[in-house]
Amino acid sequence: MRISFYLNEIQIETEIELHDTLMQLLRRRGMVSVRYGSDSGETGASAVLIDGKLSSTDCMLAAQIDGRDVKTVEWFNKSDLHPIQVAFVATGAMQSGYSTPAMILGTWELLSQNLNPTEQDVRDMLSGILDRETAYVKPVEAVMRAAALMRGETNEPFGPVYLPPLTDGRNPVDISPNDNGPDASPAVPRVVPSKDVPEMAVVGKPEVKVDAVRLVKGNPAFTDDFEERGQLIAKVLRSPHAHANILDIDDTEAVALPGVHAVIHYKNIPRIKYASGGQSWPNPHPHDQVSFDNKVRHVGDRVAAVAAETKEIAQTALSLIKVKYEVLPYVLGEIETMEPQSPVIHDENDTEEIYDADKNIVLKIQAERGDVETGAKQADHLFEDTFKVHQVQQVPIEPHISVAWLDSDERLVVRTATQVPFHVRRMLAPLIGRSIKDVRVIKPRIGGGFGAKQEMLIEDIVAHLAIATRRPVKLELDRSEEFIASRTRHPQTLTFTTGVAATGKLVSQKLRLIGNTGPYGTHGLTVQTVAGLRGLTSYNADNKKFDCDVVYTNTPVAGAYRGYGAPQAEFALEAHMEDIAHALGVDPIEFKRKNWVKVGDELNIAPHLGERAVGLEDIEEYPRITSNGIEECIAQGKRSIKWHRKDDPDWIAPKDKPNIRRGLGFAFCMHGTAIPFLDMGGCSIKINDDGSFNMLVGATDLGTGADTVLGQIAAEVLGVPLSDIQVYSSDTDVTPFDTGAYASSTTYISGTAAKLAAEKVRERLKERAAKLLNVKEPCSIELRDRKAIAPDGSSVTIEDIAMEAFHLEDHEQIMGTASYVSPECPAPFAAQFAEIELDIETGQITVTKLVMAVDCGVAINPVTASGQVEGGMLQALGYAHCEEYAFDENGKMVNDSLGPYKIYRADEMPEFEVFLVQTMEDSGPFGAKAVAEIPKDGVAPAIRNAIINATGVAINEIPFTPERVWQKIRESEI
Amino acid sequence: MPSILSYHRPQSLDEAQKLASQKNTFIIGGGTLVIPDVLSSPTKEAVIIDLQAVGLTGIFSELSGGQSSVKIGAMTRLSELIGNEKIPMIVHELSSKELPSTLRTQATIGGTIADRNGESILLSGFLALNAEIEINCETWIPLNQFLQSEPLEGIITALRFNIPTAESETSFHSVGRTPMDVPIVSGIGYAQSNGNLQVSLTGVSKIPVLVKSDDDIENLDPESDFRGSSAYRKHLASVIFSRITEEVQK
C-alpha cells in the first residue's frame, strides 16, 4: 500500500505493508526516538504527535496515517535545544532517557494550548508515558520550568536546597509540629551537608548528565537504534505448559517456509550446561540450564527459536513447529514444592550440585554467630512472625534486546542491553564453542534494567542464530515475554524469631527463609544470602542465625531485581520489629534505635553470608559500621511527614470521613555498598591535545547517571570541568573490565577506580608542570580551573602541558589506568516514612506521601542521587501496593501486560520528598556510599506500619491490595 | 503471515456499510483495541475498515421539548470530550479516567461502545445517563438495550443523552488498586429531578449493569479474578451503591 503523510513538516510518500505499525514505519525512516515498549500503546514510549496530539504509535497501523501530520522529537532538532529540551536537561528529568522524547512531545502539545499549566495538567499529560526511573518527579518539574521559559521568564538554576542539620548527628531530637521544613519544589533535592565534607569544585554539584543532549534529542543511543545491514529477526517459541517433557520437535514446515533462515532447538544445539545469572567467575552452582532443553519448566520457557527475514515470517514459522509434549504436574508455591507429592522439576542427570533434587531444594544456606537456641532461652521475651512476599517484575520500559553478527574477522559481536557485558562475554563464549577473545560485547545505552538485565538472558539465542545464518540477527522480547520469560523478584516465606531482654535489647535473632527461584537457580544463592545479610545485620544481637532453603518451582524464573533480597528481608524485619515494640508497649522508633547498628558496631554475621562467605575460623576481624547518619535522616523525615500526627486521634479518624483511617509508618533501612573482595571496576584516562580527557570505564550506566558521576570524580581530581571529560563505557574490546552494574557498586567501586586513574594522570601532569614552571616539588602544584598552579601563583594550562607532551619534549601519552576492589562494604542508611489513607469498608489504600531521608555518604551528584531515590521509591511502592503475578489453573500468568499488571503512572503518584544527609565515608571516593538500592527497602514496611497506625491491623503479606486489606480488617473486626 | 488482508478508508457511511458486509471485517475508530488484537494473532485474517474519513465527529447540543441533550459523533475522540463545555462534568471526569493521555487521543466514542467492556467507566457513565446510540445514522436504541442484546448489524454512528438538570445529581465512586487503576468495581449514580436513582456498575458483569436497589445487587453474580473475588466484588457493589445513594440524597 502506498501512503502519503507529513513527517516533521516534510511530505513523505512511501510503500508500506498492511501490517506495519506506525512505530515500525517511523523507525524504518530513521526516527529512532520513537521507541518500543509494548504492542498495545501501554507504555507511551512510542508516542508522537499526530495532528498535534500525543498518540501511541505501536497500537496503530501505518495505513491510518495516510494524509495526516506526524511530528517526532527529531522535529525539534535544530542547532540549539528547544526550551523544552533545555528544561529537561537542566532538571535531570531523564535517567535512561528511553521515553524522554515522548515526554518532550507531550510537553509541546500541552504548552501549545496552555502556557500556565497546573501540576495536575502536567501529570495528566504524562499519564500515558510510563516511567520506572524518575517517579515523574523531575519530569513534572521540567515541564513547569519549560512553561516558564516559553512564557519568557528566566528560571533559577536547578540544584539542591541546603538545609541546616536538626541533630548533632548522634542523638535524637524532638521536632516541633510547627516546623514545616523547606519550601521548595519536590523535585529539588534537600541536602543536609556535613561539616566533615570539604567544599569541592565538581563533586557534590548538580552537574548536567553527560549524555543529556543525546537523550533529549532522541539521537541513536539504544540497542535497537543501530541496525546492521541484512539483519534478520528472531522469535522464540515458548512453552504453553508449566511443566512438560518435550518428546519430539518437528521443524520441517518451519524450515521450508520462504524467508526462514534457521530454526534451532534441543535437537540441533549442543547441550552445554550453564547458569544464566550475570555474576563473577565461577558462577554459583547449580548450572542447571542449557540453551534449549528437552524439558520445559515454566510457561514461557524456551522451546525453539527462528531467524527470518521479517517478524511476521518468524512468527508464522513458530506456528509451524510441531512439538510433542508430555505434560507433567506443576507446582508454584515455595512451601508446596518441598512436599513429597510435588513433581521433581530437575530430574535430569547432568546438573551437578543441586542440594536435594527430589525435594526441589536447590541450595541450603546456613550461617550462625553465637548460639541462637541458647540466646532464645536466655531472652525474657521471644517473638516469632512469618511473612510472605510475592513475585514482581522489574518492568524496564525497554525490553531485553540483543543483536549479534560476525564481523569481518569472523568474530562474534553482540550489541545488547545488558548490565553485565563482561560477564556475558565470558558466559556466552563456551555456549557457542568460541574463546572469549573471539567474542565482543557492546553495551549501548540501556532503557532501564533494575537487575533484569544482570543476566545472560537472550544473547546465546542471537549468537547461535547469527552463527547458523551468517547474518546479523536481532531478538527483542515483547511485553508478555518480558513478564513470563525474563526475570523477577524472588517470592519468599520468611520467619523471624527474636529474643529480647527485659532491657529491650535483642539477645537473639533467627531468620528462616524459603526462597522461590522458579525453575532455574540463576541468582538463587546470592539473592537469598543478601536477604539473610540484610535481615540480620540491621540490629545488634550476639546470637544470630540464618537458615535458608532455596527451592525450585514452575513459576517464571526469579533473578536479580534492584534491592536483591533486601526488600523482602527488610519488609519482614521492619514489620517484625514494629510488632515486637507494640507487644512490649514501647515506641517502635525508640525500640529500634536501642538495637540498630551504630558507628563502631560489628557486623557480626556479614562475612559468613554471600558469594565470598568465610567460615568462623577464617576471620580475624569483623567489619564495622564506619559512618551512619540515621539520626539526622529520622529528624528530617519526621519533620517532613509531620510525625506528631500519628498520635492524634482526630487526624487518624477524621470525623467528616467515617470510613477513612489515616496512618503514618516508619521503616529503618540499611543496605550495602558493593560486594567486598569481589566487585571490581577498571578505568583508563588519557589526555587529548586540548587538555580534555577520554575516560574509558567498564561500568554500565543504566540511566543511573553513572557516566556522569564517574566523570565528575575524574574532573574533580584533574581540576577541570565535567565538560572536559568524555566518558565511554562498556565495550569489552575497548574499555577496562568491570563486574557490571549491580550491588550498588558503581559509584563506590568504579568511582574509586576512576579516582585512582585520574590521580595517576594528575601526578604526571604535576611532574610536567613542575618542569615548565621551575618548581622543585611537583606535589606542591595544584590542578584547578584547567591549570596547574604553582605555590607562587604562576601557572600553565593543562592544554599547554598536553601540547608539550604530544609535540615538543619528552613525548608521551599522559594516561592513567587503575582498577579497584574493596575490602569493605560501607552501609548507607535511610529513614523511610509513609502516609496513607485507608478505606475500612473497602480495604482500598491510598498512599498520600512518601519521604525518604538517605545517608549515602557524599552524593557525588545530588540531582542524579535524588533521582535514584525517587525512582527506587516508585518501584518499591508498586511492590508494596499493587504489583503482583497472578496465575491461572494451568500455571500461566494471567496479567502479563501493563494495565492488568499495574504500575504507577504520573497522575496517581503520592507526594514524594527526598533528603540526602551527608556523612563522610572515608573508604569511598570523596566520601561516597551507595544510593541506588536502598530506596527499595523501606516502602513496604513503612506502609504496613502505617496501616497499623491507622487501624491496629498488622498484615504480613504484600501487596496491600484492596481485598487482602479488607479481609484482614474484617478478621480483626475493627 | 500478514494477518491484514486489506485496509479500507471509506469516504461515506454508505461505502463503509458496504465494506462491512464482507467477511472478517474489523471496523476501527482509533484502532487502539482492534489493531493490537489483530496483529498479535497472525492466523486471524482481517479486513480493516477505518472510519476516520466518514465524518461522524462533533459534539452537538440539542433541545427538544424543553430538555437539553447532547449528541456525540461516534468518531469523536475521548480527548475531545474533556474540557468541552457541552459535556457534563461527570463525563469529563470519566473520559479522563478511562484512558491515559496517549490513548484517549485516538480512542473513539464508537469504539468504546462497540467494545462493551464491563470495566469501562465511560461506557458505564453513559449507561447511567440513559444514553441512546444511533446505528447507521438511522435508528436510535437505548444503550442498555444495545448492551443487553447480541451484537447488532450496522455501524454505531452517534450517542446522545439528556444533560442532567440542575436539580439532578451525579456521583462516581470506585475502588481500585491505585487511584487511576481500572476500578475493581465502580458505580456512577444518576438521580433525576424526580428523585429516581439508578447506578451503573462496572466490574460485576461482562458489561456495565444498572442497579436501582439492594435487591438488584443481591442478584449480581460477578466473576472472580485476581483483583477481586466474586464475594468481594459484590460487597464493593453494595458499599458503592449505598455511598452513592447517601451522596445524592444529601
> Which uninterrupted H or E stretch holds A241?
none
3-state secondary structure of B143: helix
Q: How far apart are the first and last CA of chain A?
A: 65
Locate the chain B residue with the closest alpha carbon to A103. Answer: B102
Q: Give the one of A19, A102, A882 whose C-beta lies nearest to B3's C-beta.
A: A19
Q: Are residues B49 and B63 in the same domain?
A: no
CB distance A667 to A949 below 8 Å: no
Note the pLDDT tens digit of each residue in A430-440.
999 999 999 99
Q: What is the average pLDDT value for chain B, to the nearest integer?
A: 95
* Rg of chain A on CA atoms, in Å: 28
> Average pLDDT for residues A865-882, to the nearest whole number?
97
Query: What does the alpha-carbon distance between residue B55 and residue B13 come to, in Å, rounded to a whole number?
Result: 8
A896: pLDDT confidence band, cut at 50, 70 and 90?
Answer: very high
Residues 84-123 (A) with a CB less than 8 A from some CB of B:
102, 106
User: Nine-digit cell at A431?
Assistant: 555456549
Query: What does the alpha-carbon distance between residue A390 and residue A568 come to, in Å, rounded to a whole number?
Result: 9
Has residue A447 got a pLDDT over 70?
Answer: yes
Query: What does the alpha-carbon distance between residue B228 and residue A961 come to, in Å, rounded to a whole number?
Result: 9
Task: Tell me the sheet residues that pair with A681.
Answer: A738, A820
* Rg of chain B on CA atoms, in Å: 18
Q: How far is B185 from chain A (nearest CA, A)?
A: 10
A611: pLDDT confidence band, cut at 50, 70 and 90?
Answer: low
Question: Minimum mean pLDDT among A169-178, A473-482, A685-694, B137-146: which range?
Answer: A169-178
- The one-letter code for the residue type at B56 is L
Cis peptide before A177 (omega within 30 of 0): no
Tell me A166's DSSP state.
Answer: S
Q: Give the one of B2, B101, B236 whose C-beta lies nearest to A312's C-beta.
A: B2
Has residue B2 got a pLDDT over 60?
Answer: no
> Average pLDDT for residues A69-91, to the nearest whole number?
95
Q: Give the one of B39, B50, B239 whose C-beta lies nearest to A39's C-beta.
A: B39
**In this structure, what CATH number is given to the domain that contains residue B115?**
3.30.465.10
| Residue A678, pLDDT score | 84
> Which uninterrupted H or E stretch holds A781?
none
Task: Tell me the sheet residues that pair with B50.
Answer: B28
Note the pLDDT tens digit of each residue in A946-955.
999 999 999 9
Q: Strand (E) positions, B45-155?
A: 46-50, 59-64, 67-73, 132-135, 139-142
| Residue A865, pLDDT score | 96
Residues of B in contact with A846 (CB under 8 A): 179
Supply the pTM of this predicted model: 0.97
Query: What does the alpha-carbon distance between residue A299 and residue A330 come to, in Å, rounded to a whole number?
Result: 10
Architecture of the domain made up of A625-670+826-861+911-974: 2-Layer Sandwich (3.30)
> Average pLDDT for residues A846-851, to the nearest whole number?
98
Query: What does the alpha-carbon distance between residue A195 and residue B192 come to, in Å, rounded to a whole number?
Result: 67
Q: Are residues B100 and B125 in the same domain?
A: yes
Has residue B43 got a pLDDT over 80?
Answer: no
Buried b (16+ CB within 10 A) or exposed e, A139-155: bbbbbbbbbbbbeeeeb
3-state secondary structure of A675: coil
Write the burial class of residue A129 (CB in 10 Å: 0-12 exposed, 13-18 middle, 19+ buried). buried
Q: Phi-psi region for residue A957, left (φ > 0), alpha (ψ -120 to 50) or beta?
A: beta
Q: Are residues B150 and B219 in the same domain?
A: no
Measured CA to CA in angstroms, residue A579 lies from A501, A539, B188 at distances of 16, 15, 40
A742: pLDDT confidence band, cut at 50, 70 and 90?
Answer: confident
Locate the chain A residue with the closest alpha carbon to B230. Answer: A963
CB distance A402 to A455 below 8 Å: no
Q: Where are the alpha helices (DSSP H) in A679-750?
A: 706-718
Cis peptide before A962 (omega within 30 of 0): no
Q: How far is A969 from chain B (nearest CA, A)?
A: 13
CA A835-A868-A167 angle, to 5 degrees, is 60
Q: How far is B180 from chain A (nearest CA, A)?
A: 6
Q: Are residues B25 and B69 in the same domain?
A: no
A679: pLDDT confidence band, cut at 50, 70 and 90?
Answer: confident
Number of domains present in the structure of chain B? 3
Residues 897-936 (A) with a CB less than 8 A from some CB of B:
899, 902, 904-905, 907-908
CB distance B216 to B237 below 8 Å: no
Domains A334-392+488-597 and A625-670+826-861+911-974 share a fold: yes
Q: Which of B162, B187, B203 is the last residue of a domain?
A: B162
Tell me B183's DSSP state.
Answer: P
Q: Are residues B66 and B109 in the same domain?
A: yes
Note the pLDDT tens digit of each residue in A916-940.
999 999 999 999 999 999 999 999 9
Has residue A450 got a pLDDT over 70?
Answer: yes
Interchain proximity B5–A18, CB inside 8 Å: yes
User: Nine-digit cell at B161?
Assistant: 443523552
Query: What does the alpha-carbon distance between residue A955 and residue A352 come to, in Å, rounded to a whole number?
Result: 40
> Average pLDDT for residues A516-534, to the nearest whole number?
96
Note the pLDDT tens digit of each residue in A156-215.
999 999 999 999 999 999 999 999 899 999 999 999 999 999 999 999 999 999 999 999
User: Nine-digit cell at A642?
Assistant: 509531620
| Residue A602, pLDDT score | 94
Q: Phi-psi region for residue A36, left (φ > 0), alpha (ψ -120 to 50) or beta?
A: beta
SS3 string of A495-558? EEEEEECCCCCEEEEEEEEEEECCCCCCCHHHHHHHHHHHHHHCECCCEEEEEEEEECCCCCCE
Of A819, A825, A829, nearest to A924 by C-alpha is: A825
| Residue B44, pLDDT score | 81
Note the pLDDT tens digit of each residue in A641-650.
999 999 999 9
Q: Are residues B35 and B64 in the same domain?
A: no
Residues 826-845 (A) with a CB less than 8 A from some CB of B:
839, 841-844
Class at the top of the CATH hierarchy for domain A680-821? alpha beta
A:B CB pairs within 8 Å: 148
Q: What is the average pLDDT value for chain A, to the nearest integer?
A: 96
Angle subtended by helix axes A588-595 and A566-584, to nearest 10: 120
> Average pLDDT for residues A7-33, to the nearest whole number?
97
Judge: domain A227-328+397-484, CATH 3.10.20.30: no
Locate the chain A residue with the closest alpha carbon to B6. Answer: A18
B249: pLDDT confidence band, cut at 50, 70 and 90?
Answer: confident
3-state secondary structure of A787: strand
Interchain proximity B177–A64, CB inside 8 Å: no
Q: Does A4 contact chain B (CB < 8 Å)?
A: no
Buried b (16+ CB within 10 A) or exposed e, B161-184: bbbbeeebbbbbbbbbbbbbbbbb
A77: pLDDT confidence band, cut at 50, 70 and 90?
Answer: confident
Of A82, A79, A122, A123, nearest to A101 by C-alpha is: A82
Has residue A12 got a pLDDT over 90?
Answer: yes
Q: Which of B109, B140, B162 is the last residue of a domain?
A: B162
User: Nine-digit cell at A303?
Assistant: 522451546
Query: Going by C-beta distance under 8 Å and a sequence separation of 6 or more, which residues neighbour residue A874?
Result: A132, A134, A135, A136, A904, A909
**Beta pairing, strands A543-551 & A693-697:** unpaired
**Beta pairing, strands A2-7 & A69-71:** parallel
> Average pLDDT for residues A14-36, to the nearest whole number?
97
3-state secondary structure of A289: strand
Q: Does B171 contact chain A (CB < 8 Å)?
A: no
Query: Going by C-beta distance under 8 Å and a sequence separation of 6 or more, which residues neighbour residue A475?
Result: A233, A234, A235, A236, A305, A401, A402, A403, A458, A461, A462, A465
Query: What does the alpha-carbon distance between residue A692 and residue A757 come to, in Å, rounded to a whole number?
Result: 15
Interchain proximity A41–B36, CB inside 8 Å: yes
> Average pLDDT for residues B166-194, to the nearest whole number?
95
| Residue A974, pLDDT score | 66
Q: Domain coordinates of chain A in residue numbers?
A: 227-328+397-484, 334-392+488-597, 625-670+826-861+911-974, 680-821
| Residue B152, pLDDT score | 79
Note the pLDDT tens digit of each residue in A812-844.
999 999 999 988 889 999 999 999 999 999 999
Interchain proximity A59–B35, CB inside 8 Å: yes
Class at the top of the CATH hierarchy for domain A334-392+488-597? alpha beta
Residues 121-140 (B) with a CB less than 8 A from some CB of A:
none
Q: Which of B162, B180, B199 is the last residue of a domain?
A: B162
Map grid coordinates 472472580 to a residue: B224
| Residue B1, pLDDT score | 56
> Average pLDDT for residues A264-289, to the nearest whole number?
95
> Average pLDDT for residues B35-51, to the nearest whole number?
90
User: Nine-digit cell at B205?
Assistant: 458483569
- B66 is in which domain, residue-wise? 59-162
Residue of B8, B27, B45, B102 to mutate for A, most A C-beta atoms under 10 A: B102
Q: Give the one of A55, A64, A124 whose C-beta lies nearest to B52's C-beta.
A: A64
CB distance A552 to A332 below 8 Å: no
**In this structure, what CATH number is given to the domain that contains residue B20?**
3.30.43
3-state secondary structure of A186: coil
Of A767, A769, A761, A744, nearest to A684 by C-alpha is: A761
**In this structure, what CATH number is given to the domain that contains residue B173?**
3.30.390.50
